[in-house]
């Protein structure tokens, strides 16, 4: 049974409507998911668009979408690919909203970024709004620490949060260069305001920079003063935003213990967005790209339990069938928002473009894009 079919059956078993779950937000008629001509329609539309279009596919996407991607990668690699291919007038970004925003910021004004389903968002990015972050910063100013605090914002954030970061002398980071970004920030100031993923910030600060748990505090935007005393805010080295990835946050130490008991000699490989206890008990920790490289370089016959999005784990297991690769959690764990980009939406968007209709274009307001680009360029300038 295919992964997408399994996901559909799970939703139907819960009495939920597939169309609403997938966030059908577009006007017009989508091809049916079971349409036997869907793949052929995709091939025809793609051929007609030719070099004027480029399809980018995030590693967490369904196989049905990945098969049509010109480039696969993590969010930043794909945004860079869009920037470097200036000849492609249209960029189909098969990912989530913040990724398409980053691509729009990094590409030229003549290029258009298309998100096949506008409902494909990111729960982590939605955990920090511009209003909430600005309110927190005003408190830092009142306490006299803002001038000594450098914001470091994860790529998994809205353009507005990236713009806040650029305005306030901070930089963007990815899961692969978070350590370098934090070191850069401490060269510029005394404190770091890390958002929106508390786990990546905490894991990097403690396991890479040697800070203690006591030196990291969590800012809860839903509580007065972030749920912290003035003293806690003033003495902290890292102020972590209370955000997390709904996929990576579900892995537990119990999953690791169960897997090790069941498969002697298994190596535990997890993403740094996982909870601190999980990362501390894993054998290998790495970004999405690092996870792929680790499996590529692993010996034939090796055993792995991987804590990241299920589409990627299944793809690695199929690609490297001469290794024993397992999903760390025993329950199904797809990124529900990423999975809203499916083949019917991609075909719908491509066929509209063939008819000279640009649908679901993502554009970032000029001032927001200006300051967000500053923050992104600071990241690019990191050694």
CATH of the domain at 260: 3.40.50.10800
Q: Do 229 and 256 belong together in one domain?
A: no
Buried residues in 147-186 as b, exposed as e (16+ CB within 10 A): eebbbbbbbbbbbbbbbbbbbbbbbbbbbbbbbbbbebbb
Domain assignment of residue 376, yes or no? no
> Quick one: pLDDT band at residue 351, thresholds 50, 70, 90?
very high
Residue 174 and residue 155 in contact, taking contact as beta carbons nearer than 8 Å:
yes
Query: Which residue, 225, 245, 265, sits at the end of a domain?
Result: 245
284: phi then psi, degrees, rounded to nearest 5:
-135, 135
Predicted pLDDT at 382: 86
What is the rounded distance in angstroms from the CA atom of residue 269 to the CA atom of residue 367?
A: 40
Residues of the domain holding 65 = 3-121+337-367
Q: Do 113 and 134 belong together in one domain?
A: no
Q: Do 267 and 311 belong together in one domain?
A: yes
Number of separate domains in the chain: 3
Domain assignment of residue 379, yes or no? no
Predicted pLDDT at 13: 33
Q: CA-CA-CA-CA torsion for 54, 58, 61, 67, nearest 10 degrees?
A: 40
Predicted pLDDT at 332: 66
Domain assignment of residue 254, yes or no? yes
Q: Do 238 and 299 belong together in one domain?
A: no
154: phi then psi, degrees, rounded to nearest 5:
-65, 150
The alpha carbons of the chain give a radius of gyration, in whole angstroms, of 21
Predicted pLDDT at 139: 98
Residue 169 and residue 184 in contact, taking contact as beta carbons nearer than 8 Å:
no
Q: In this predicted model, what pLDDT tens digit does every residue of 7-56 receive, in sequence order?
A: 333 332 333 333 333 333 335 567 776 678 899 999 999 999 999 999 99
Percentage of residues of the chain with pLDDT beyond 70: 91
Predicted pLDDT at 28: 55
Q: Do 173 and 223 belong together in one domain?
A: yes
> Quick one: pLDDT band at residue 77, thresholds 50, 70, 90?
confident
Q: Do 95 and 145 belong together in one domain?
A: no
SS3 state at 221: coil
Domain assignment of residue 362, yes or no? yes
* From 9-13, 29-33, 105-109, 353-357, the region with the lowest mean pLDDT: 9-13
Q: In this predicted model, what pLDDT tens digit does every residue of 327-344 receive, in sequence order?
A: 998 776 677 777 789 999
Predicted pLDDT at 19: 35
Predicted pLDDT at 335: 78
List the strands of the sheet with 267-270, edge to edge: 284-285, 267-270, 303-307, 324-327
Predicted pLDDT at 33: 66
Q: Do 169 and 148 belong together in one domain?
A: yes
> Quick one: pLDDT band at residue 267, thresholds 50, 70, 90?
very high
Predicted pLDDT at 4: 39
Domain assignment of residue 381, yes or no? no
Q: Do 176 and 236 belong together in one domain?
A: yes
- The model carries a pTM of 0.85
Q: In this predicted model, what pLDDT tens digit does every residue of 268-312 receive, in sequence order?
A: 999 999 999 999 999 999 999 999 999 999 999 999 999 998 889
Helix axes 366-380, 97-106, angle to 10 degrees: 80
Domain assignment of residue 383, yes or no? no
- Region 79-99 average pLDDT: 91
Q: Do 231 and 341 belong together in one domain?
A: no
Domain assignment of residue 43, yes or no? yes
Domain assignment of residue 382, yes or no? no
Q: Is the pLDDT of residue 2 over 70?
A: no
Q: Do 299 and 317 belong together in one domain?
A: yes
Q: Do 157 and 240 belong together in one domain?
A: yes
Q: Do 271 and 319 belong together in one domain?
A: yes
Query: Which residue, 196, 223, 245, sits at the end of a domain?
Result: 245
């Amino acid at each position: 049974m295919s992964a997408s079919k399994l996901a559909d059956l799970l939703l139907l078993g819960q009495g939920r409507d597939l169309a609403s779950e997938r966030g059908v937000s577009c006007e017009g008629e989508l091809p049916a998911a079971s349409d036997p001509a869907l793949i052929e329609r995709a091939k025809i539309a793609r051929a007609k668009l030719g070099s004027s279009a480029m399809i980018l596919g995030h590693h967490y996407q369904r196989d049905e979408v990945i098969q049509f991607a010109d480039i696969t990668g993590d969010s930043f690699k794909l945004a860079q690919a869009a920037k470097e291919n200036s000849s492609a007038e249209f960029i189909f970004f098969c990912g989530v909203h913040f990724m398409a925003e980053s691509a729009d910021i990094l590409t030229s004004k003549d290029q258009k970024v298309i998100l096949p389903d506008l409902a494909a968002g990111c729960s982590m990015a939605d955990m920090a709004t511009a209003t909430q972050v600005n309110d927190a910063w005003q408190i830092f100013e009142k306490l006299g620490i803002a001038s000594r605090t450098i914001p470091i914002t994860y790529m998994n954030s809205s353009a507005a949060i990236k713009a806040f970061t650029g305005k306030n002398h901070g930089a963007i980071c990815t899961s692969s260069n978070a350590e370098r970004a934090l070191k850069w920030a401490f060269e510029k100031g005394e404190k770091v305001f890390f958002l929106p993923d508390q786990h990546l910030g905490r894991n990097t600060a403690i396991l890479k920079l040697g800070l203690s748990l006591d030196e990291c505090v969590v800012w809860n935007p839903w509580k007065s003063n972030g749920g912290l005393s003035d003293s806690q805010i003033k003495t902290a080295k890292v102020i972590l935003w209370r955000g997390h990835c709904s996929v990576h946050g579900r892995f537990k130490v119990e999953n690791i213990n169960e897997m090790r008991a069941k498969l002697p000699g298994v190596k535990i490989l997890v993403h740094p967005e996982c909870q601190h206890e999980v990362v501390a008990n894993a054998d290998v920790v790495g970004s999405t790209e690092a996870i792929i490289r680790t499996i590529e370089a692993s010996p034939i016959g090796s055993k792995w339990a991987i804590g990241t999005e299920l589409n990627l784990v299944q793809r690695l297991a199929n690609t490297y069938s001469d290794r024993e690769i397992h999903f760390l959690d025993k329950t199904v764990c797809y990124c529900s928002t990423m999975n809203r980009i499916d083949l019917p939406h991609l075909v719908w968007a491509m066929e509209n473009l063939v008819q000279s209709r640009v649908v679901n274009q993502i554009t970032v307001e000029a001032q927001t894009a200006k300051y967000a680009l500053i923050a992104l360029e600071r990241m690019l300038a990191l050694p």
